[in-house]
Amino acid sequence: MVEDQLGKEVNGYLKDKRVLITTHNQQIASDAHAQLYELRPLCPEESWMPFLKKTFPTASTSPVVCLVEFEGMGNEIIKKCKGLPLAIVVSGGLLSRKEKSKSSWEKILKSMEWKSKSRPQLMLGNCCFEL
């Protein structure tokens, strides 16, 4: 009753407008009669450049040169991000503010460890608080 009226009001307002709905639940998108676009996580190769650009934003040379000593840990951090673009760029951006030392990066990597195993969606929040 009330929901039907609200639905009519919303549909009237949204006529000739575009709405982007993001959800993990396909039923929600289905109920909205929306066109579905399934996004896939980035592979490690696709994750690398956004991570480097965020981690070393002021590098006068290629960020790839800057990361030689951190490459292994950088790859591990990218793996912990599970291909999620937001996690990748936030992790890189926050690392850009940290000291560029192996001990600093190891500390961050260790803080990402336990969250990514149990509930990956909590990993980013934990990483942000750590940084």
* Site of tokens 């951006």: 93
**According to the model, what pLDDT value does residue 89 have?**
93
* Site of tokens 């509930």: 119
Q: What is the three-class DSSP state of 34?
A: coil
Written as six digits, the tokens of 51 are 């991570």
Phi, psi of 72 (to 5 degrees): -60, -50
**According to the model, what pLDDT value does residue 118 have?**
54
**According to the model, what pLDDT value does residue 66 have?**
57
**According to the model, what pLDDT value does residue 131 have?**
47
Helices 102-118, 85-95: inter-axial angle, 10-degree rounding: 150
The one-letter amino acid at 124 = L
pLDDT tens track, the chain, 131 positions = 565 676 777 777 777 877 777 777 888 777 877 788 888 899 999 999 999 889 888 765 555 555 677 888 999 999 989 999 999 999 999 888 888 888 888 888 888 875 555 555 555 555 555 54
